Every structure is written in C-alpha cells, then in structure tokens.
Structure 1
Amino acid sequence: MKSSLPLTEQDLSDFATALEETNKDFDALRQRYEEVRDAFSQRSQTQATITQGHLPKAELKRLKKQIETLEATLENQLMSWNNLKDPFWQVLRFVGLGLVLGWFLRGWFGA
C-alpha cells in the first residue's frame, strides 16, 4: 500500500534527530533512576546502622547528617524542574484549550 504523502530526506533526518534526543532523554532518566536507587539504599543502610546498637554521639550525629543529605538528594531528583517541565506545559496547554473551548461554547449557545 503506497502512502499519499511520500517521505522526504528531511522527514528521515527529523526522525533520526528525534530518535537520538529520545535516546539521550532515556539515558538521563536511567541515570537519575540509578542515583535515586543508590540514595534509597544508602539511606536504608544508614538507618539500619543507627538502629542496630549504641553508637557514639559523634557517629550518630554524622549518620543523621548523612541521612538528611540523602533525603535532600532524593527530593531534588524526584522534584526537579526538568521532570515537571513537560507535564506542566501539557496541563497548561490543555487547561487553556478547555477554557477557550468552554468560552466559545458558552458564547455560541448563549448560556
């Protein structure tokens, strides 16, 4: 079956570029996932060390500081602007489209 719109060299080039960008984004996502997984693991190990026994106050203070740092790392990884940028703009776009459509329908039907 022949397509009504033939592919051009530019179409293939654009697809290759989009595929490469997707691959880079996936690699970045995989790296963030591994960082978050490692931080969870370190936090669990540190909490286990704290609850296991009697530690000197200096060691206990150091471990609690390490947990705070790991939790900050986890929060930064999970709630960065890069992670929220695309969903934010999609929500804004569709909410805006819904408002415009609503105003149009209201004006059209005179409700």
Structure 2
Amino acid sequence: MNSPQEPFQSADSRRATRQDASPEMPEELTLEQEMEEVERSLHALKERYTQIQRDQQIQGQLQERTAQVKQQLQRSPAPELRTELKALQNRLDELELNLESRLFSWRSLQEPFWQIVRFGGVGIVIGWFLAFATLQSPRPAPQPSTSPSQQSQ
C-alpha cells in the first residue's frame, strides 16, 4: 500500500519512475530537430535580409545612373547611351522582380491554405450533416382544418 514516506521521495527517484513510465527520447529528438529547423530558418531570414539591403542599395545606384544617362541623352542623343539606358532598365527590372518575388513565396501560403481546406471542409461536412438531419426528421402532417360550418353539419 502507500507508505507515509512516498510523498517525501527524492526528485531523483521520481525522475527515474517517470522515465520508466514514458521515455522522453522521442520528444527530445523532435525538440532538437525543431530547434535546428528554427536555426536554419533564422539563418535563411538573415541571408535574405542582407540580400534585400544589398539589392536596394544597387537599385538606388542604378536609378541614379539611369537619371544621369537620361540627362546625357537629352543633351546629346548617342546610340551608346540608349543601349546603356536599356541595360540599366533591364537590370532595374530584374532587381525589382527579385525583391518582390523574394518577399512573396508560395511556401508562405502553405499553412493558411491547409487551414482553409481543413476548416472549410469541416464546415461543409457540418452543413451536409445538418441538411441531412433536417431533411430526415419527420415533419408533422398538416392537420385538416375544420371550419365551423363543417362542424355543425
């Protein structure tokens, strides 16, 4: 039975009985794996942040150079300036696309998508269940109304 000293067990003996009852190894491994995943995500985020800063700096420099080339083109139209301007515009478009595409990714929509599917599906199933339940429930048959003139006859 219960001895009076059981509530005063040492912490080590309680830990030992707990480990025997449920091994904590899988939980520790998943916790370590999750921590590694968080560290990888943080590292990727830091890399992306530095890339965005670098691209924004390059974008600013290219915009300044584009303005200078446009001013030179107004003074003296030269084919070299036009080709340089086109190259600058193409590079600016690439940078802008890169900046926009990196901020938006399909991976960021993965979790909300599955939440919508899950809860939308549950809503549809509940709706079907309610519709089926209301259509299957017996409705009281309408009582023939008896008018006072029919009762007197």
* Alignment TM-score, normalising by the size of structure 1: 0.71
Aligned-pair identity in percent equals 32
Shift of 1:20: 0.9
- Select the residue among 113, 117, 123 that pairs with 1:88: 113
SS at match of 1:54: helix
Q: Flag structure 1 segments of 5+ consecutive residues without an equivalent.
A: none
1:44-85 per-residue CA deviation (whole Å, 9 max, x = no partner) reads 221222124325212211110101111221232123322332
Partner residue in 1 for 2:55:
39
Residues 72, 86 of structure 1: alpha-carbon distance in 2 compared, 3 angstrom cutoff: same
5+ residue gaps, structure 2, are: 1-13, 74-80, 136-153
* CA RMSD of superposed structures (Å): 2.8
Greater relative contact order (CA < 8 Å, ≥ 6 in sequence): 1
Q: Within 1, Cα distance between the matches of 2:131 and 2:58?
A: 56
Write the distance in 2 (CA, Å) between the matches of 1:63 and 1:14: 49
Instruction: Please point out which of 62, 66, 78 is paired with 1:50.
Output: 66
TM-score normalised to structure 2 length: 0.55
SS in 1 for 2:72: coil
Asked if 1:9 corresponds to 2:32, the answer is: no
1:59 aligns with 2:88: no
Structure 2: distance between partners of 1:26 and 1:32: 10
The more displaced of 11-20 and 70-79 is 70-79
Number of equivalent positions = 107
Give 1:107 deviation, angstroms.
Answer: 4.7
Counterparts of 2:130 and 2:38 in 1: how far apart (Å)? 38
